Structure 1
Amino acid sequence: MRRQVLVVGLLTFFTAMAISSGTEAVVNRFPSALAALPFLLIIIAVGIIFDMIGVAATAAAVAPFHAKAARKIPGAKQAISLLNHADKVASFCNDVIGDICGTVSGGLGATIVFLLVSSHPDWNKAWLGTIMTGLIAAVTVGGKAGGKKLAIDHAEEIIFLVGRCLAWIERQTGWTLWPDKKNSKGGRKRNDHFNS
C-alpha cells in the first residue's frame, strides 16, 4: 500500500512538472488571451476524457472482450488488461491525470487573466480572476458529470476504443502497458454500483 502511494505520488509529481512546463512554454508564445483560450479548453477536455476512461474501466464487463480476443480482434486483449487492472486505471485517469489537468487549467486561467489585464489595464483583475475560476469550474464539473453518465452507459465501447489505441501503440513501439498473464481468465462482471 505504501509503495503504491509513493509510486502514484512520484508519478503525479513528475507528470505534473512535465505538463506544466510544456503548458507554460506554449502559453508564453500566445500573443493574446483569446489565442490561449482554445488551449485551456483542450486541457479541460483531456481531464474530462481521462475521467470517462477511469469510470468506464470500473463499469465495463470483461466477458464481451474474451469473445473478441478469441477471434483475435485488435484491442480486445488490451481491453481485458485494462479491466483486470481497473483500480490502477481509475486511479491514474481520475486522480493523477484529472488532478493535474485541474491544476494546469487553473494556472492557465490565471495566465489568461494576466494577459487580459496587460491588454486592458482598466479592467478589474480580482473580478476577472473570480469569473475565470467560475468558468473553469463550471466547464470542468459539468463536462465530467456528463462524461460519467456517458462512460457508464457506453463503458464497453469506450474501453474497446482505448484498447484499440493501445494495440496500435504496441504495434508501433513494441511497448506493452502490462505483461500478459495467464490468470486473466474469468474476469469480472459489470460493477453493480453502476447498474443501480
Structure 2
Amino acid sequence: MMHEILRQSLRWAILVTLITALLSILLHAASATLLRGLPLWGGMVVVLIIILVGVVFDMMGIAAAAARECPFHSMASRKIPGARHSIVIIRKADQFSSFCNDVVGDISGIVSGAAGFAVVVALVVSLDFHEGRWLLETLTIGLISALTVGSKALGKTFSIRFANEIIFRLGKLLFILENRFHIRVFNVKNKKKRKRKRGVLRAPRTD
C-alpha cells in the first residue's frame, strides 16, 4: 500500500514539474510579447491580469480542499448538471489544489514580477530616469507583492466560506466543457462494481 502511494506521488510530482516548466515558458513568452507592443498603462493592465489569474486559481485550490462532498451526492442523485464533476474535484482535491496553488499560483507570481520589472524598464526609458531606477524597481516589486499577498488573503477567506458554491460553479463549467465542447478534464463515469451473490445454492449436476 505504501509503495503504491509513493509511486503515484512520484508520478504526479514528475507530471507537475513538466507542466510547470511548460506553462512558465508559455506565460513568460506571452507576457513578454504583449508588453513589447503595449504602452505603459497597457503593461500595468497585463501585470494586474496575471495577478488576478493567480488569485482566482488560488481560490479554486483552497475551495477544493475546504469543500464538503455530502451535499453534492443528493444533487447528483437528482442529476443536477455539474454535481458529479464537483464530487470528482473534491475527491481529487490534493492534485487539484497542488495544480491551482503550486503550479499556476507560483507561476503567476514569478511572471507578474518579471512583467513588473519590464514595466519599470519601460518607465525608466520613457522618463529618462536612470538615476532613480533602483527606487522604481523596489517600489514596483513591493507593490506587486503587496497586491498579490493581499488579494490572496482576501480570496482565501472568501473561498473557505463559500467553498461548496465555488466548487459547484466550477463543476458546472467542467460539465459544459465536456458536454458542449467535448473537453474532458476528469473522468466522471460511474464504475459499477459487480457484487457476488451469497447464499445461493446451486443444484447438483446430474448426468
TM-score scaled by length of structure 2:
0.85
Give the aligned partner of residue 125 of structure 2: 118
Post-superposition shift, 1:172?
2.6
* Distance in structure 2 (CA, Å) of the matches to 1:183 and 1:44: 40
Post-superposition shift, 1:122?
2.4
Q: Does 1:166 align with 2:174?
A: yes
* Distance in structure 2 (CA, Å) of the matches to 1:17 and 1:66: 40
Indicate which of 99, 105, 110 corresponds to 1:98: 105
Post-superposition shift, 1:74?
1.2
Which has the higher mean CA deviation after the structures are superposed, 3-12 or 135-144?
3-12
1:38-57 superposed matches below 5 A: 38-57=45-64
1:127-170 Cα offsets, whole Å, 9 max, x none, are: 00000010000000000011001011000001011111111111
Post-superposition shift, 1:4?
1.8
Give the aligned partner of residue 67 of structure 1: 74
In 2, are the aligned partners of 1:50 and 1:97 still within 8 Å (CA)?
A: yes
Give the aligned partner of residue 28 of structure 2: 20
* Distance in structure 2 (CA, Å) of the matches to 1:170 and 1:25: 32
* Distance in structure 2 (CA, Å) of the matches to 1:85 and 1:183: 16
The percentage of counterpart residues that share the same residue type is: 39
Post-superposition shift, 1:181?
5.2
CA RMSD of aligned residues (A): 1.4
Q: Does 1:157 align with 2:165?
A: yes
Which ranges of structure 2 fall in alignment gaps of 5 or more residues? 1-8, 193-207
Post-superposition shift, 1:183?
6.5
Post-superposition shift, 1:82?
0.4
Indicate which of 82, 89, 92 corresponds to 1:82: 89
Indicate which of 6, 9, 26 corresponds to 2:14: 6
In 1, are the aligned partners of 2:85 and 2:188 still within 8 Å (CA)?
A: no
Which has the higher mean CA deviation after the structures are superposed, 159-168 or 96-105?
159-168
* Distance in structure 1 (CA, Å) of the matches to 2:191 and 2:178: 21
* Distance in structure 1 (CA, Å) of the matches to 2:128 and 2:72: 58
CA, structure 1 residues 141+183, in 2 after alignment: closer, same or farther (shift >3 Å)? Answer: farther
Give the number of aligned pairs. Answer: 183
One-letter code aligned to 2:129:
D
Query: Secondary structure of the residue that 1:73 maps to in structure 2?
Result: coil
* Distance in structure 1 (CA, Å) of the matches to 2:60 and 2:94: 12
Query: Secondary structure of the residue that 1:151 maps to in structure 2?
Result: helix
Runs of 4+ off more than 3 Å: 181-184
* Distance in structure 2 (CA, Å) of the matches to 1:183 and 1:159: 22
1:62-107 Cα offsets, whole Å, 9 max, x none, are: 1111111111111111111100100001000000000110011001
In 2, are the aligned partners of 1:50 and 1:98 still within 8 Å (CA)?
A: yes
In 2, are the aligned partners of 1:57 and 1:90 still within 8 Å (CA)?
A: yes
